[in-house]
């Protein structure tokens, strides 16, 4: 005759079933890691500011190690609907002075970008197919200079790794649809996001053949305000061409009250005032 007493294994299983029935299917998973999409959403929420102004020094290094410098002003404003506008303006040297790039983020990911070159005295809208091209001789493509719009990609958490002694989530970003896959210069990106402050410290960009093309590394992180962190040094290295672009932050300020009328085509064409 079988004993009415449950075995240890059956008892544990019964408790687990009871927990699911009473508390729901998420019971006991509070310690589970967040999804890639959750991480990207939290990063966006933590790192955004109403407006920001930076002066940057760009150093462009060719495959022979020869370099040239450019000084850049970068302005950002974020509207109440959480969409950003970014203006990048070259200050020096004279051959690129007042050239600029204006980016308007769109909720559906179809951002608008305009490039202004003083020689033409007119801004030119960057076609969707042209956003994979390099910006003003740097190792940054136009698409690299847009905000991280979560509508354009699916984000998969693929592991954890340490970068500069900091524990990071590793996320694979894939085009969300056929249109984005066709317009982007990348088949995928990999992002290393610090677990303590949700700042992306490393990015890998893979070309249309699936080969590693570029690596961006953000260094010398500083806490500029509340949950907001920024890098004082950024390196974009083209692993295939042997070139790199270094960005050093000369000055930075947040919440200066920048106005939306500074981020228009007309303002882009007027140049620095």
Q: In which band, very low, low, confident or very high, does the pLDDT at 16 lie, cut at 50, 70 and 90?
A: very low
Q: What is the pLDDT of residue 270?
A: 86
Question: Which range of residues forms the domain containing residue 62?
Answer: 36-270
Instruction: Please write the tens of the pLDDT for every residue from 245-269.
Output: 999 999 999 999 999 899 999 999 9
Q: Which residues contact 58 (CB under 8 A, 6 or more apart)?
A: 69, 70, 71, 72, 138, 245, 246, 247
Contact 58, 69 (CB under 8 A): yes
Pair of tokens at residue 8:
């240890």
Higher pLDDT: 130 or 272? It is 130
Q: In which band, very low, low, confident or very high, does the pLDDT at 19 lie, cut at 50, 70 and 90?
A: very low
Q: Buried (b) or exposed (e) across 155-191, using 16+ Cβ within 10 A? A: bebeeeeeeeeeebbbbbbbbbeeebeebbbbbbbbb
- In the chain, pLDDT over 90 holds for what percent of residues? 82
In a domain, 261, yes or no: yes
* Residue 57, burial from CB neighbour count under 10 angstroms (0-12, 13-18, 19+): middle
Nearest C-alpha neighbor of 100 from the set 67, 133, 124 = 124
In a domain, 86, yes or no: yes
In a domain, 71, yes or no: yes
CA torsion through residues 69, 75, 78, 84, sign: negative
In a domain, 112, yes or no: yes
How many domains does one find in the chain? 1
Contact 245, 59 (CB under 8 A): yes
- Put residue 161 in one of left, alpha, beta given phi > 0 → left and psi -120 to 50 → alpha: beta
pTM given for the model: 0.86
- Bridge-based pairing of strands 112-117 and 153-163 is unpaired
In a domain, 194, yes or no: yes
In a domain, 241, yes or no: yes
CATH number, domain of 52, equals: 2.50.20.10
Q: Which residue is listed with tokens 């462009």?
A: 60
Please give the Cα distance from 32 to 220 (Å, whole number).
30
- pLDDT over threshold 80, residue 1: no
In a domain, 27, yes or no: no
Instruction: Please write the tens of the pLDDT for every residue from 200-239.
Output: 999 999 999 999 999 999 999 999 999 999 999 999 999 9
- pLDDT over threshold 90, residue 90: yes
In a domain, 207, yes or no: yes
């Amino acid at each position: 005759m079988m004993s009415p007493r449950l075995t240890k294994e059956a008892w544990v299983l019964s408790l687990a079933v009871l927990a699911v029935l009473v508390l729901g299917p998420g019971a006991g998973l509070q310690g589970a890691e967040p999804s890639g999409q959750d991480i990207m959403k939290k990063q966006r929420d933590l790192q955004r500011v109403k407006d920001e102004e930076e002066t940057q020094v760009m150093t462009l290094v060719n495959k022979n190690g020869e370099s040239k410098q450019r000084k850049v002003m970068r302005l950002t404003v974020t509207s109440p609907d959480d969409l950003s506008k970014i203006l990048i303006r070259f200050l020096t040297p004279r051959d690129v002075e007042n050239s600029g790039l204006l980016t308007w983020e769109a909720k559906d990911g179809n951002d608008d970008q305009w490039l202004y070159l003083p020689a033409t005295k007119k801004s030119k809208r960057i076609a969707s197919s042209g956003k994979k091209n390099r910006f003003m001789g740097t190792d940054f493509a136009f698409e690299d200079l847009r905000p991280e719009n979560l509508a354009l990609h699916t984000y998969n958490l693929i592991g954890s790794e340490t970068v500069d002694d900091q524990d990071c989530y590793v996320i694979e970003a894939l085009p969300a649809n056929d249109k984005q896959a066709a317009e982007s210069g990348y088949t995928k990106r990999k992002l290393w996001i610090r677990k303590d402050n949700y700042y992306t410290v490393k990015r890998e960009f893979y070309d249309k053949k699936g080969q590693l093309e570029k690596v961006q590394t953000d260094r010398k992180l500083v806490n500029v305000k509340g949950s907001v962190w920024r890098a004082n040094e950024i390196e974009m290295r083209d692993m295939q061409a042997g070139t790199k672009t270094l960005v050093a932050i000369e000055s930075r300020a947040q919440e200066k009250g920048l106005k939306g009328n500074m981020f228009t085509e007309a303002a882009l064409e007027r140049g620095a005032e």
